[in-house]
Chains A and B, each alone.
Chain A
Amino acid sequence: MSMLRVVGLSAGYGPVSVLQGIDLEVGEGEFVVMLGANGAGKTTTMRAISGLISRQGLVEVAGDDITKWSPDHIVRAGVAQVPQGRGTFPELSVEDNMLAGAYVRHGGHDVRDDMHKWFEVFPRLGERRHQRAGSLSGGEQQMLAIARALMSRPKLLLCDEPSLGLAPLITQELFGVLERLNRDEGLSVLLVEQNANLAMHIASRVYLLETGNIVASGTSAELSADDSIRKAYLGF
């Protein structure tokens, strides 16, 4: 069974249509990357899957048709999104950000236990747990955004361009964390990126998005073997 199945998804903002009916799939425990230039519709895809904008087509999560569900129900169904530009809550402490991530779980001891577990995975956050999120560095905030998303105990993690505005070294560290989460926790990941080199390294499958259409898909090896794709996206 696939964790996420999207068929003929089209979405946009008011009269402007951005996605022209795309198909994609993320298997259970799979790490899928979606590459695309600015304006290709990557963020729109993420927003459409999470139910933040109106959409047509079919979106299935673990076999459930969630096309008509509201965003909060989709989170409850096990989909967590790390929004573009991190979207941490600057006025809340790191700890409160984490607890806000567990909003759908109604508190309790296991929420605290989860938080401490993620503080072990992200020790920098644990050190700064009483600090305002707004006082963290960009890389720490991105870590926080990921850890916060994990607090809802998702089955599928949507990551919208986490490398945005981060130093290459930090980006590498971040992708390492995502890879470990996928491998050790069995978390299915859909990562949207412009940073093709790094992303294709850890992805099991890759989709290429261009002006609202999927123009190519396949395993990382297949796509990097394709000359035109390599030139356009990998730059060598």
Chain B
Amino acid sequence: MKSLFTIREGGAANWTLRVITMVAIVGLMLYIPTKWEAGTLNTAIEGLTYMSAAMALNLVLGYTGQISIGHSAFLGIGAYTTGIMVSRWGFSPWVTFPVAFGIAFVIGVLISFPAARIKGVYLALVTLALGLVFPQLATWKKLAWITGGGSGLPIACPATGVSRSCEGTEVPTTGFNIGPKSKGQMQTFEIFGWNPFGDLRRPDNKAAFYYWIALVVAIIVYLACRGVVKSRVGRSLIAIRDNETAAAVMGVNLVRTKAFVFGLSAGLCALPGCVTAIKTGGVSPEGIINMTVRGAITFLIVMVIGGAGSLAGPVIGGALYVFVVDKTGTWADDDKIPGVLRPFFAWSEIPPGDGIFAVLLILLMFVAPRGIAGLWKQYIHRIVRVIPRPAGAIGATPAMATATATPTSNHEGEPQ
């Protein structure tokens, strides 16, 4: 297949492309919180939450090939860890992130032991059970002494210092500060005296503050996934997915590797849960909507549409999902929608966005089983082909390597 441009990995053109991509991504990250208002910013935060959860799920499903329909429970565990620690014991919200990761990691490892023995549909059922049980446990009356039961737990929000449901009463005052504590910490966020967001009682400032938390979490999850996937362990994950027997005779310890990945995935999935708890100002069955199985299904859809088994996939999927859901939210009774289409959107109880995604999912299964990221990989080399660097071949000059390079579709040099 001829491509329009051919560039060499590590060459000037390749670096220019990489720099442009990085500048564009960082630019977008900075543009969103400075220009957008609270309403749209909240959509962006939601998108980042879906991206993080889908990236975590991708480690297990996309790379290792283990089906999980219970990742919503890990998000819930994250949310409830933050909720309980902050509300009951007055910890700083920052502390709860590593704790939530640890708890979810341990539970993930425990779940993975049956997971190492069972596969496919049976594993899907085990994880589904987890996904179904968690919301029940969280609202169980006998556990209300710790979880707050059906009414949940409030977290003192940084904007006002009082929680949404405990107005007038004393709530644990926990600061969002980093560095030495100062007066008035509930109204502002400070890093060693520097106050980047201004008065957090203003909705726009508050949303921007939460956006940055969600963004940092998403970046951490991305880097963790990238670190694992590009390493020796990452190769062994794909090896397990492609052929377990062959992976085992390569010396991959199947049980240990699967346990580690499941644990890591669970731990990472808990982090967006912490963000949701902080943003919602507490935990409750209504506040943490993604802790039910519906959330797990959404993560699944986001991951599959974006592209399973690819680092960029869940990011693309998450962005697309919230964009479509946000834009189509009013279509069911919007007069501007052509009359032919309106009955379709008003036809059922489901939000139009979900209906569109259902159709999109079916379409993609035919056109691009590897999602949008897969589609990109399939066609990008028609436009730009990156000739891989000769892998330190002894005695091979670059010219020789170029001459012997076969028309491959290598993607390592592409900007992610």
Contacts and interface: CB of A to CB of B under 8 A. Distances in A.
A89 B243 contact: yes
B226 interface: no
Contact of A103 (B235, B309, B405): B235
B391 A129 contact: yes
Given A71-B249, A104-B251, A91 B242 contact: yes
A140 B273 CA distance: 47
A127 B404 CA distance: 7
A20 B208 CA distance: 70
Interface stretch (A73-81, A173-181, A192-200): A73-81
Interface in B359-408: 388, 391-394, 404-406, 408
A130 B242 CA distance: 18
A91 B370 CA distance: 12
Contact of B406 (A72, A92, A131, A148): A131
B242 A92 contact: yes
A88 interface: yes
B232 interface: yes
B410 A130 contact: yes
Interface residues of A, number: 41
30 contacts: A50-B249, A70-B253, A71-B249, A71-B251, A72-B248, A72-B253, A80-B249, A81-B249, A83-B249, A87-B246, A89-B239, A90-B242, A91-B242, A92-B239, A93-B410, A96-B235, A96-B238, A99-B235, A100-B236, A103-B232, A103-B251, A104-B251, A112-B392, A115-B391, A116-B393, A127-B406, A128-B408, A129-B391, A130-B406, A149-B249
B213 interface: no
B393 to A, nearest CB: 6
A231 to B, nearest CB: 35
Given A89-B243, A128-B406, A131-B408, A103 B250 contact: yes
Q: Which 9 A-B pairs have the closest CB atoms?
A: A87-B246, A75-B251, A104-B251, A81-B249, A89-B242, A72-B251, A72-B253, A130-B408, A71-B248
B300 to A, nearest CB: 20
A100 B239 contact: yes
Interface of B: 232, 235-236, 238-239, 241-243, 245-253, 309, 388, 391-394, 404-406, 408-410
B371 to A, nearest CB: 14
Contacts of A63: none
Contacts of A80: 249
A192 B176 CA distance: 66
B332 to A, nearest CB: 41
A95 interface: yes
A225 B405 CA distance: 51
B246 A88 contact: yes
B238 A89 contact: yes
Interface string A143-176: 0010011001000000000000000000000000
Nearest to B309: A91
A87 B238 contact: no
A131 B406 CA distance: 8
Given A89-B242, A91-B309, A101 B410 contact: no
Select the residue from B232, B246, B249, B410 with max chain A CB neighbours within 10 A. Answer: B249
Contacts of A152: 250-251
Given A72-B252, A87-B246, A89-B246, A112 B239 contact: no
B394 to A, nearest CB: 6
Given A72-B252, A99-B232, A99-B235, A83 B408 contact: no
A100 B391 contact: no
A66 to B, nearest CB: 13
Select the residue from A70, A91, A100, A116 with max chain B CB neighbours within 10 A. Answer: A100
A75 B246 CA distance: 12
A103 B252 contact: yes
Given A131-B406, A131-B408, A92 B249 contact: no
A115 B390 CA distance: 13
A65 to B, nearest CB: 19
